[in-house]
Amino acid sequence: MATNLEIERKFLVIGESWKAGAKAVPISQGYLYKGKDMVLRARTKGDKGILTIKADKGGISRLEFEYEIPVDDVKAMFSELCADPPLEKTRHIVKVGGMTWEIDEFHGVNQGLVMAEIELENADQSFDMPEWAGPEVSDDNRFFNAYLSEKPFSTWGITQAELIAEKG
């Protein structure tokens, strides 16, 4: 069961120095179900389709089950089953201190929001903090993709720089 446990910390991103050497992949994701403690989403990631179930386990831990499915099925789910339009973002992969960081640069109605995530083996695991990692937002539900699909960043009335200053 532990292999399905996702332990993840999220940070706002400062500047663009992280872009050097980053590998990018486009992502679109829509939500088929959003409950208090569980979501079911469909995603295209590059040329792959993925169905994911995430369930809250408290703190920064979630159960996560992912299954590859045909991209055409994901697109049909977007148009037929998702209440909100899919989120659009580019995921950039960056290595820091031997660990993988995923930087999500949002597009469309979430344009202007850039967040970094790092997955850990346990909640207390230490890691090198890059200079571009700003304030932590792991415990702020506004920064979950499911929330952003309903209440896009463009409706918040604040810029990323203002968020960083506010949370700083």
In the set 31, 33, 67, 147, the catalytic residue is 31
Burial 51-81 (b: 16+ CB within 10 A, else e): bebbbeeeebbbebeeeeeebeebbebbeee
| Res 1: pLDDT | 40
Q: What ranges do the domains of the chain cover?
A: 7-167
Per-residue pLDDT tens digits for 37-58: 999 999 999 999 999 999 999 8
**117-144 pLDDT, tens per residue?**
999 999 999 999 999 999 999 999 999 9
Residue 63's SS3 state is strand
In 3-state terms, what secondary structure has residue 35?
coil
| Coil, helix or strand at residue 147 | helix
Please identify, in words, the CATH class of the domain defined by 7-167: mainly beta
User: Model pTM?
Assistant: 0.93
Query: Is residue 31 among the annotated active site residues?
Result: yes
